[in-house]
């Protein structure tokens, strides 16, 4: 990298930074919604009501089966037509990523809850806890260690998926990069920087997830 | 709002073509990523110096960056150093880069899941590491790996949608292209979603079934 490249990168920083903030905004809000929603969704998936279980399962299959980019386009182009709702692309991105993230986080939560030994549930009921108390004070705290490593992986997937929001017109990191390329023609430099940007966001999380997994369940 | 079924029928052939492109691109990427995954897992298994470190770096780079960036890098950045690839080649190359990283991990962990005792008894029998891999480890590892392989193949098939960003005429590109040309958003979105559900719902149930079958068929854990 020559000194002119470094100059260009430095000049581009404010614009790239603004784009990166949008990326971070989408990532953080959809991670927050997914985590909160996923806890509720995952807990409800262990419910014994057949109708509720069926509804939640349908939601899961729909969001899992159809590619996330298709959902992005479906919501972005479809909501105005089907419901007369015009959602700005940023909010649309957060909505779709959250709806998807909730099912993914929910599966992590459900898996962790169901992997707990049965004795815990029974002991909790035996000492007279309500189902809600059982979940809040016994099951969820015990399941955290099994939820955290795969939950962090869902976060990295959400972060990577924010890249797709450029395709529905969000001015996030990639879009900012493209605008700089239009002005300067430095595509190699800017795309390398974007590659690195996502890597720097995701790699520490993957490494953390692997470490926690090794520490907490070494036999897998 | 009424559905214009005649219009939808008229567009059906284009959507079949889009589906064919989706399967072609994904099929090529799946084959190449599996080959890359096997090769990389072998490099890790034989502990080949330098290459082993290179594989580790590659796996982290492939898994921790979005496909869209990998795609744009190949499509828009490489021409500035004189390498120009078509949309198809870019899509297959980028998806192979991504998929190879995931499949390396899948096959490696399958190999590692074959119990240590078997490796040791093989070595004690005087098998070379190569014979051990071919006759003892791989046949068992492949069986353990099948559900994860399969789910990664479905994942790659879904990622094909991202190739629409470099104008590969798969299903999503076909859809957005018609919307841009003819503004029949309602019909096109409906067709797209139904088509994707037709493709992926059966695959999703098949995957569930394979997982359940093989989990019960496993032993020695």
User: pLDDT tens digits, residue range A194-206?
Assistant: 999 999 999 999 9
The mean pLDDT of B107-113, rounded to a whole number, is 91
- Residues 6 or more apart whose Cβ sits within 8 Å of residue A152: A205, A206, A208, A209, A212
Domains of chain A by start residue, with CATH: 10-216 (1.10.3720.10)
Q: Which residues in chain A (35-64) have CB-CB distances under 8 A to chain B?
A: 61-62, 64
Q: Where do the DSSP E strands lie in B159-209? A: none
Q: What is the mean pLDDT of residues B71-75?
A: 96
**How far is Cα B86 from Cα A109, in angstroms, rounded to an integer?**
43
pLDDT number for residue B221: 39
Phi-psi region of A195 (alpha: psi -120 to 50; beta: other; left: phi over 0): alpha
pTM strictly above 0.80: yes
Residue B215 has pLDDT above 90, yes or no: no
pLDDT tens, position by position, A63-99: 988 999 999 999 998 888 888 888 999 999 999 999 9
Long-range contacts of B121-127 (CB under 8 A, 24+ apart): none
> Which residues 144-173 of A are in CB contact (within 8 Å) with B?
156, 160-164, 166-167
The angle subtended at Cα A98 by Cα A97 and Cα A104, nearest 5°, is 90
Element (H, E) at B165: none
Could you give the 3-state DSSP secondary structure of residue B169?
Answer: coil
**CA dist., res. B150 & res. B160, Å (int):** 16
Who among A70, A78, A174 is closest to B196 (CB)?
Answer: A70
Question: Residue B109's closest chain A neighbor by CA?
Answer: A220
Answer yes or no: is B139 within a domain.
yes
pLDDT surpassing 50 at residue A220? no
- Taking alpha carbons only, the member of B181, B179, B157, B183 closest to residue B170 is B157
Residue whose pair of structure tokens reads 């990166």 in the numeric block: A20
Instruction: For residue A218, report the phi and psi dihedrals to the nearest 5 degrees.
Output: -60, -25
The model's pLDDT over B200-213, given as tens digits with 9 standing for 90+, comes to 999 988 988 888 88
CA B86 to each of CA B71, B75, B169: distance values in angstroms, whole numbers, following the listed order: 11, 8, 12
Per-residue pLDDT at B61: 97
Q: Which residues of chain A does B165 touch, with a Cβ-Cβ cutoff of 8 Å?
A: 167
Count of domains in chain B? 1
Reduced 3-state DSSP string for B66-128: CHHHHHHHHHHHHHHHCCCCCHHHHHHHHHHHHHHHHHHHHHHHHHHHCCHHHHHHHHHCCCC
**Contact state of A81 with B193 under an 8 Å Cβ cutoff:** no
Do the Cβ atoms of A139 and A113 come closer than 8 Å?
Answer: yes
Q: Helix, strand, or coil here: B22?
A: helix
pLDDT in the model for residue B217: 56
Percent helix, strand and coil across chain A, each rounded to 5? Answer: 85, 0, 15
Work out the average pLDDT over B17-38: 97
Burial (CB count within 10 angstroms: exposed 0-12, middle 13-18, buried 19+), residue A117 = exposed
**Which residue matches tokens 């080949």?**
B48
Q: Across the A/B interface, how many CB contacts are shorter than 8 Å? A: 111
Q: What is the pLDDT of residue A218?
A: 62
Asked whether residue B88 carries a pLDDT value surpassing 90, the answer given is yes
Q: How many whole angstroms separate alpha carbon B168 and alpha carbon B191?
A: 19
DSSP letter, residue A48:
S
pLDDT digits (tens, 9 = 90+) for B132-189: 888 888 888 888 899 999 999 999 999 999 999 999 999 999 999 999 999 888 899 9
What mean pLDDT do residues A18-31 have? 96
Tokens of B145: 């790996």
Mean pLDDT, residues A10-14 taken together: 85
Segment A32-58 mean pLDDT: 93
Q: Can you give the pLDDT at residue A135?
A: 87
pLDDT > 70: what percent of chain B?
A: 96
Report pLDDT for A203. Answer: 97
DSSP B131-144: HIIIIIIHHHHHHH
Pair of tokens at residue B46: 């034989």
With CA atoms as reference, report the closest residue to A173 among A148, A199, A155, A207.
A199
pLDDT of residue B144: 87
pLDDT tens column, B125-147: 999 888 888 888 888 888 889 99
Residue B220 has a pLDDT of: 41
| Matching residue, tokens 């990427």 | B29
Best of A59, A66, A173, A194 to substitute, by most chain B Cβ atoms within 10 angstroms, is: A66
Task: Categorize the per-residue pLDDT at B1 as very low, low, confident or very high, splitting at 50, 70 and 90.
Answer: low
Which residues on B lie below 8 Å from A202 (Cβ)? 63-65
Tell whether B193 is covered by a domain: yes
Is residue A3 predicted with pLDDT exceeding 80? Answer: no
Tokens, residue A163: 């890249």
Residue with tokens 């059982």: A134
B221 assigned to some structural domain: no
Q: What is the mean pLDDT of residues A22-51?
A: 95
Q: Which two tokens stand for residue A129?
A: 């806890």
Share of chain B above pLDDT 90, in %: 71
Query: How far is the CA of B117 from the CAs of B60, B138, B219, in angstroms?
Result: 30, 15, 14
The CA distance from A74 to B188, in Å, is 10
CB burial class (10 A; 0-12, 13-18, 19+) of residue B117? exposed
- Distances in Å between the Cα of B68 and the Cα atoms of A151, A169, B133 are 23, 14, 36
A206 vs B117: which has the higher pLDDT: A206
CA gap B30, B149 in Å, rounded: 10
Kindly list the residues from chain A whose CB atom is less than 8 angstroms away from the CB atom of residue B198. none
Give the domain extent around B183: 5-215
Q: Mean pLDDT in chain A?
A: 91
Q: How far is A125 from chain B (nearest CA, A)?
A: 31
Residues A107 and A45: their CA atoms lie apart, in Å, by 8
Residue B220 lies in a domain: no
């Amino acid at each position: 990298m020559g000194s002119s490249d470094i100059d260009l990168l430095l000049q581009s920083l404010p614009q790239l930074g603004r784009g990166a903030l949008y990326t971070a905004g989408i990532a953080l809000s959809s991670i927050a919604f997914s985590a909160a929603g996923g806890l509720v969704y995952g807990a409800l998936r262990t419910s014994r009501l057949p109708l509720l279980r069926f509804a939640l399962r349908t939601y899961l299959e729909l969001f899992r089966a159809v590619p996330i980019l298709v959902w992005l386009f479906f919501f972005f182009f479809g909501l105005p037509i089907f419901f007369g709702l015009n959602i700005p692309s940023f909010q649309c991105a957060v909505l779709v990523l959250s709806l998807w993230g909730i099912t993914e986080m929910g599966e992590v939560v459900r898996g962790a809850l169901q992997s707990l030994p049965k004795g815990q549930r029974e002991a909790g009921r035996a000492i007279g806890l309500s189902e809600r108390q059982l979940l809040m004070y016994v099951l969820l705290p015990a399941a955290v260690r099994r939820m955290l490593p795969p939950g962090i992986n869902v976060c990295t997937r959400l972060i990577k998926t924010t890249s797709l929001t450029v395709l529905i017109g969000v001015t996030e990191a990639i879009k900012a990069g493209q605008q700089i390329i239009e002005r300067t023609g430095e595509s190699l430099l800017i795309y390398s920087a974007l590659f690195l940007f996502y890597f720097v966001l995701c790699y520490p999380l993957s490494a953390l997830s692997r470490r926690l997994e090794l520490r907490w369940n070494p036999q897998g | 709002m009424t559905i214009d079924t005649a219009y939808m029928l008229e567009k059906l052939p284009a959507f079949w073509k889009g589906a064919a492109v989706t399967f072609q691109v994904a099929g090529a990427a799946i084959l190449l990523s599996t080959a890359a995954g096997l090769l990389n897992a072998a490099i890790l298994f034989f502990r080949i110096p330098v290459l082993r470190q290179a594989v580790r770096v590659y796996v982290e780079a492939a898994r921790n960056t979005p496909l869209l960036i990998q795609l744009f890098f190949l499509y828009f950045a490489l021409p500035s150093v004189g390498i120009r690839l078509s949309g198809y080649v870019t899509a297959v190359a980028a998806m192979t880069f991504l998929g190879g990283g995931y499949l390396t991990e899948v096959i490696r962990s399958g190999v590692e899941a074959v119990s240590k005792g078997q490796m040791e008894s093989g070595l004690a029998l005087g098998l070379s590491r190569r014979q051990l891999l071919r006759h003892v480890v791989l046949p068992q590892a492949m069986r353990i790996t099948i559900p994860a392989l399969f789910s990664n193949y479905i994942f790659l098939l879904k990622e094909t949608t991202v190739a629409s960003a470099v104008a590969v005429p798969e299903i999503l590109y076909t859809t957005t292209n018609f919307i841009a040309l003819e503004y029949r958003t309602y019909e096109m979105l409906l067709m797209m979603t139904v088509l994707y559900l037709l493709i992926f719902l059966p695959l999703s149930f098949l995957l569930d079934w394979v997982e359940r079958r093989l989990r019960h068929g496993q032993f020695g854990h």
